[in-house]
Structure 1
Amino acid sequence: MSRDVGRFRILLAVILPFLSLTGCERGSDEDATTTLRWYVFKEQSGAFEQAAGRCSKASGGRYRLKLEYLPTDADLQRELLVRRLAAGDRDIDLIGMDVIWTAEFAEAGWILPWPDDRANRVRAGCIAGPLASGSYQGRLWAAPFTTNTQLLWYRTDRVSEAPPTWDAMIDAAESIGPGGLIQAQGERYEGLTVFFVSLLVSAGGSVLDESGRRVSLETGPTRRALEVMRRLARSPASDPSLASRREDQCRLAFESGDSAFMFNYTYVWPSARANAPEVAEHMGWARWPAVDPSRASRVSVGGINLGVGAHGRHPDLAFEAAECLASEQNQRLAARLGGLPPTLSKLYDDPEVRDVFPFAEVLRATLADAVQRPRTPLYSDISIAISRTLHPLSEIDPERDVERLRQAVRRALNSEGLL
């Protein structure tokens, strides 16, 4: 028995190291694929999931992208991310960022700046407006992935052509009478700030100066933007529910057939074709009307950019994955499946993309000189200050409210009081 025990011990001494080595090798094979978590809103068409799958496959097993879904509401998205990023959450590798978060997230150290070589590749061929939305203080902090901006949508059976100015459009709508309503965003929320900023820059003004640290709001352009907003709100062509209108309420109202004009994003086109084909049949599009006849209009840019979390465990792989996601192939996929406008200029000449966006030329031109909302880490407070000061639009007093706006934005910029 003692001899058998001795032989067994010798056998174990030979086999165990081999088993241990084999086990380690198997474990390393299983762990070779790094999981990168991409925090982004749930895009309904599946385009984001397909893009993530493509990039995971292209990595050759070095990483696997896993989508972690954020709420659909942009404010809730930001709140969730801010809490986790401020706590140094290491699970956040990639972020699908609203364009207005760039300055805040960069200044707070929550995202990493893009390395020069990758940044140069991202910049190549990108439309100026979307590219600027991912930049802050001369560096690229987020890669433009999908973009959007508002167009003027109008009924071609009620007006022969798109009016060139806001005053001309309101005149035309009033002359139509029934069926001539104008749909715009007038509720007290981010959409109202977008509306004001677009009008202000179209009039030649800005909310902040070039440094982003001081209030601008020049008297002439600010007063002119406020005059347009008040005239719209008090016009008989204004929708009676303007003070509670958001983008989707505007879309539904336009599809009902009672409106001649609407300011909205590109998703309204496929929606009308599916839900109100009789409206879509007579649906035209154009660049926003001008505030000043001598100046082309400029409209606020939206969209999703890709940032790399500063606390993530695998930043090099995260940058590689983000660059893959923002590639021409995946932007085309997002356009074709999800109706999300691309940020690469050349794709607006692509037949597949033009099938989705027959208004591609107008959209690209509008994006080329699109307006950036105030680029400051305090943008959220500034936006609240603007929307609270200007709501409801019917009560705007252009002479009085220029100074009220300055004071409200100055307080927000100085973090004075809770807004």
Structure 2
Amino acid sequence: MRWTHAAGRGLLVLLIVLTGYVAFGAQAQESGGTRGRGPLTLATAGDLTGYLGPLLQGWNRTHPGERITLVELPDSADETHAQMVTDLRGDGRRRFDVLNIDVNWTSEFAAAGWIRPLERERFPLGSFLPPVVDTATYDGRLYAVPYVTNAGLLLYRRDVLDKEGLAPPRTWAELERYAETVAPRYGLDGYAGQFLPYEGLTVNAAEAVYSAGGTILGDEGARVTVDSAAAREGIGFLARGVREGWIPREALTYKEEESKQAFRDGRLLFLRNWPYAYAVASAEGSPVAGRIGAVPLPGPEGPGTSVLGGSNLAVGAHARHPDTAARLIAYLTSERVQRQVLTRGALPPVRADLYEDPSLIARFPYLPTLRESVLAAAPRPRSPHYDQVSLAVQAVVHDAMTGRQTPAAAVRRLAHELDAIAGR
């Protein structure tokens, strides 16, 4: 009996020790310590250039116990957003640990509690272009890390303008005049952007409003500022283009890929798009390779304002291995990998020094122009209800461009709808 009591006491001590060990392990994993390491999934919109898989293979070779599985979602921003939100707020097992999110989703995801705050000192934020860091914060805290940046550029047929003895347009008036008079002489359409009612139209509309000196929202979405002469001028610029024909009606069906293809095929004189479209149109085999240029977007009186694009890397609130997630993000934002993001993916890096590298400028001549555009860019309207804001902008601006509403009526309607979203 004495042996049995001793054995019982020993078993009890062992159970206490083991329970404490398990609890410590769970706490370490939750806090992101060494026990927070292991395999993860990385969710991203469709990889149009196929560069990301090889980058992750480099990580997987050197981190066999922390392998990353890439989950590619649709290349449409709206569809990717919907699938990410469904996963993040689901009641069952979440599939996505690290998310490559559009810069404008950071506020929404952080406000909803879907992504976790990050420790600033773990990431090289001081090496990034200054405007991009702001896209990764919400309520004064870092909730993501900039991965790629972007700014809209005006691509143009340099050969055509050279024949006409014209410099690329710096103002809307010049753009309109060349699109209306020069383009037809060469069998080209004048100007296009991304005008299908989806996220791309929100971007194009915001750029037009910003370039005219206006804004859409203020105070993290709490204040509606769109009802202004500048907004009427910006939306009027887009609507006038369709009405007068220097924006082809076909462009009302364009997303990034369709508009890029139209320019690459030699059907457009001017195109607003992201820098990847320049890289694709300049590649070997492109009908317009060697005949194109890129400048900042024009505005009413001079250079306009691009929307700050790109994506941020965020860690899901229920990520299985948060320490691995943070280390993966540090890897993907390292100088070596950021260089490959540009050279393999034709995506603009967030590291400032790469924009001044002579070897990269020789290969990507638009880099100085892109740097100028990024530094002068503005974010899309920030709001915890951004998805609703974007849908409202898309619907209203599309109605103005198709002639269903005048620009003035469209702006009044948009202000009313945004007031309702803001809860005013």
Normalising to structure 2: TM-score of the pair? 0.83
Q: Aligned to 2:408, which of 393, 399, 404?
A: 399
Higher alpha-carbon deviation: 244-253 or 340-349: 244-253
Q: Deviations over 1:393-413 (max 9, x none)?
A: 041413322211101222233
Partner residue, 2:396: 389
Q: Deviations over 1:287-320 (max 9, x none)?
A: 0002344xx4211122221101111222122112
Q: Aligned to 2:53, which of 49, 53, 70?
A: 49
Q: Aligned to 1:377, which of 371, 384, 399?
A: 384
What is the distance in 2 between the residues matched to 1:153 and 1:42?
A: 23
Opposite residue 162 of structure 1, the aligned amino acid is P
**Does the residue aligned with 2:270 lie in a helix, a strand or coil?**
strand
Q: Aligned to 2:292, which of 258, 264, 283?
A: 283
Partner residue, 2:261: 252
Partner residue, 1:161: 167
Q: Aligned to 2:349, which of 342, 349, 360?
A: 342
What is the distance in 2 between the residues matched to 1:223 and 1:33?
A: 52
What is the distance in 1 between the residues matched to 2:406 and 2:48?
A: 42
What is the distance in 2 between the residues matched to 1:313 and 1:248?
A: 35
Map 1:179-258; keep pairs closer than 5 Å. 179=188, 181-258=190-267
1:132–1:372 contact (8 Å) kept in structure 2? no
Gaps of 5+ in 2: 1-34
Q: Aligned to 1:129, which of 131, 141, 144?
A: 131
What is the distance in 2 between the residues matched to 1:97 and 1:247?
A: 17
Q: Aligned to 1:174, which of 157, 175, 180?
A: 180
Name which one, 1 or 2, has greater alpha-carbon Rg.
Answer: 1
Deviation at 1:135, TM superposition (A): 1.8
Map 1:105-116; keep pairs closer than 5 Å. 105-116=109-120
Residue 72 in structure 1 maps to residue 92 in structure 2: no
What is the distance in 2 between the residues matched to 1:345 and 1:114?
A: 22
CA pair 362-318 structure 1, distance change in 2 beyond 3 A: same
1:348–1:360 contact (8 Å) kept in structure 2? yes
Runs of 4+ in 1 over 6 A off after TM superposition: none
1:191–1:246 contact (8 Å) kept in structure 2? yes
Q: Aligned to 2:145, which of 132, 143, 146?
A: 143
What is the distance in 1 between the residues matched to 2:350 and 2:55?
A: 16
CA pair 276-240 structure 1, distance change in 2 beyond 3 A: farther
What is the distance in 2 between the residues matched to 1:67 and 1:56?
A: 11
Deviation at 1:57, TM superposition (A): 4.8
CA pair 45-220 structure 1, distance change in 2 beyond 3 A: closer
Q: Deviations over 1:191-211 (max 9, x none)?
A: 111111011112221111134
2:36–2:321 contact (8 Å) kept in structure 1? no
Opposite residue 180 of structure 2, the aligned amino acid is E
Normalising to structure 1: TM-score of the pair? 0.84
- Tell me how many residue pairs correspond in the alignment: 380
Residue 410 in structure 1 maps to residue 412 in structure 2: no
CA pair 174-276 structure 1, distance change in 2 beyond 3 A: farther
Q: Percent identity?
A: 31
Residue 315 in structure 1 maps to residue 317 in structure 2: no
What is the distance in 2 between the residues matched to 1:277 and 1:321?
A: 35
What is the distance in 1 between the residues matched to 2:200 and 2:322?
A: 34
Deviation at 1:356, TM superposition (A): 4.1
Opposite residue 340 of structure 2, the aligned amino acid is L
Deviation at 1:91, TM superposition (A): 4.6
Gaps of 5+ in 1: 1-30
CA pair 225-274 structure 1, distance change in 2 beyond 3 A: same
What is the distance in 1 between the residues matched to 2:46 and 2:255?
A: 20
**Does the residue aligned with 2:116 lie in a helix, a strand or coil?**
coil
Opposite residue 72 of structure 2, the aligned amino acid is Y
Partner residue, 1:26: none
CA RMSD of aligned residues (A): 2.4
Deviation at 1:335, TM superposition (A): 1.1
What is the distance in 1 between the residues matched to 2:267 and 2:78?
A: 31
CA pair 196-56 structure 1, distance change in 2 beyond 3 A: same
1:339–1:356 contact (8 Å) kept in structure 2? no
What is the distance in 1 between the residues matched to 2:318 and 2:36?
A: 21
What is the distance in 2 between the residues matched to 1:199 and 1:32?
A: 45
**Does the residue aligned with 2:310 lie in a helix, a strand or coil?**
strand
